[in-house]
Structure formats: C-alpha cells, structure tokens
Amino acid sequence: MAKTATVFIDGEAGTTGLGIRTRLEAFPGVELRSIAADRRKDPEARRAVMEEADLVVLCLPDAAAKESVALAESLGAKAPKIVDASTAHRVAPGWVYGFPEMTAGQTERVAGASKVTNPGCYPTGGIALIRPLVEAGIMAPDYPVSINAVSGYSGGGKAMIEAHDASGGPAFELYGLGLEHKHVPETQMYGLLTRRPIFVPSVGHYRQGMLVSVPLHLDTLVGNPSPDDLHDVLAAHFKGSALVRVLPPLAGGRIEPEDLNDTDVLELRVHGHQAHGQAVLVARLDNLGKGASGAAVQCIALMLGLEHPAYAPALADA
C-alpha cells in the first residue's frame, strides 16, 4: 500500500516548481500544500505550512532558499525534510547531493537524508561522464578537464525565458566566459577533481534539452584506454540504472539536444577515433527533467518512500 505524504513547494510558480508539482500530482498518496499568491513571501505563512509538511521543496533564489531553511529549522523536532533546488547548498556541509546514480551507496544516502540539494543541470551531465573515470583510476583527479555544454533557454531563468519568448533571442551564444559559473564548484567536488575544470556553457534558441561534452586525448589518461574501454567503464558504473543509460555512439557522429525532452532520462555516449587517440564523452538530458524537476522528484520519492519506478528495487529492499 502506498504511503501518504504532505509536500510543500516553496516557489511553486517558477519553471522548476511547476514541473515538480506536475510530476507529484501523478503520485498517489501525495498531498500538495500551497499558500495564497499574496502570502507567498510572508514568513509566518510559510512557516505555518512547513509545520504541516513532511517535506519542503525549495524552488527559490539562493538567498531566499537560505531563509526558508532557517524557517524550517526553527521548527525543531517538527522540521520537515528539505529538497533544495537552488545552488545555495550544493557544496555545503550537512547536505546530501541529490544524484542517486552518482556512485555506489548514493541512493541510500539520499533515502536516509533530511536535507538534499538538487544537482545543477550541467553538473548532472558532467559528473556522470567524469566521476566514473576518476573512480576507475583512468582519469587522474588533477586532470585538466574541459566541459562544453549547450542548453535550451528555459534553463536561464525568468529574464532569459521572457527574452526568447518575446523577441526570439539570439540563435546561439556562449556565456560564463568569466570562468566563474555557479555550477563549477559542485562539478569539481562531486566529479572528484582536484583541479578546477574549465566549463564553457552556451544557450540556443530552443526551449529545452541539453548536451554536455568532455573532449579527451586518450594518451593523457591512465593506461591509454580506447573509446570502447571508456564506454565499458561508464556502462559498468551505471549498470542497472533505470534512468541513466550508456549507449553506443550515434551513426554519423551527430547528436541533437531535444530528443529526451519531457523525460527524466540521462543518456551517455562515447564518440571516439582510436587512430587519432581522441574521444568525446557526451551526455544528453532534458534540463527541466533529469536536470531539474525530474531529479527533485526522484529524491523526494526516495526520501518519503514513495513508489517511483526508477527506485522500485531500492524501495523493495528498504
């Protein structure tokens, strides 16, 4: 029999919050709590609904997310569990990183946590490609990693969405060229890298869908592995995962970013040329799915013991 749980989405009017709400409405036994629009910034109203919730999801700017955590913690023993979709706590002590497939035991850590920080969309792809190689000893922790990525404009926040919807926006643009993108710290930490990676994000004039790529010279990796070796390491790392799929390279050497839209799937591929000693690791995902709302709901399901198809084995063993 499915468990029942009460969830409050603090910031439910935004893109991520709406996506989480839509997904949770499909779960039997989940009761969603809301606040009237004119009281959404009222601390006392938010604290009152938090007191009634089993879990609170924060879909807020970083400063507001920190304020909400303080409100929740002020409830003491009545404090709800928290999933924070902002960047405020992604490398903070005491928070569990909400990427259950990231490494062995992470699913159980998320399930047992009271505070989970939802991964960024870009880091989800980057960490999935990098960490397995570091754990396997093929990539040294101080490897000079470069990550290139493109996202649909829905990942850029309200102002970018309005600009593209209203005027068309630029067809394509690089950004974050000051090399201070807010996703770099979590990519480095959970990618197990001791050297700060170079991360070059970009945005295209399409709504959603993401590609993250990591170019590699094979002779700079431990043991000079082949592209097939890299594929095998990724496949072994994510074996049995319902949502992270390691697939063969696409024929023609071309991949587009929108094919996984409206899903919570993450696809990983290794494209390589053995004679040239080069490879490009590629992750594809929906930046609003596995990169945001879908990832949050996966963590919520684990934390509350809900019946989520991706975690049926873990829940059965609990």
Q: What are the residue numbers of the active site?
A: 121
**HEC string for the chain:** CCCCEEEEEECCCCHHHHHHHHHHCCCCCEEEECCCHHHCCCHHHHHHHHHHCCEEEECCCHHHHHHHHHHHHCCHHHCCEEEECCCCCCCCCCCEECCCCCCCCHHHHHHCCCEEECCCHHHHHHHHHHHHHHHCCCCCCCCCCEEEEEEEHHHHCHHHHHHHHHHCCCCEEECCCCCCCCCHHHHHHHCCCCCCCEEEEEEECCCCCEEEEEEEEHHHCCCCCCHHHHHHHHHHHCCCCCCEEEECCCHHHCCCCCCCCCCCCEEEEEEEECCCCEEEEEEEECCCHHHHHHHHHHHHHHHHCCCCHHHHHHHHHC
Alpha-carbon gap, residue 252 to 156, rounded angstroms: 30
Tell me if 95 sits within 8 A of 117, measured CB to CB.
Answer: yes
Q: Is 182 exposed, middle or buried (0-12, 13-18, 19+ CB in 10 A)?
A: middle
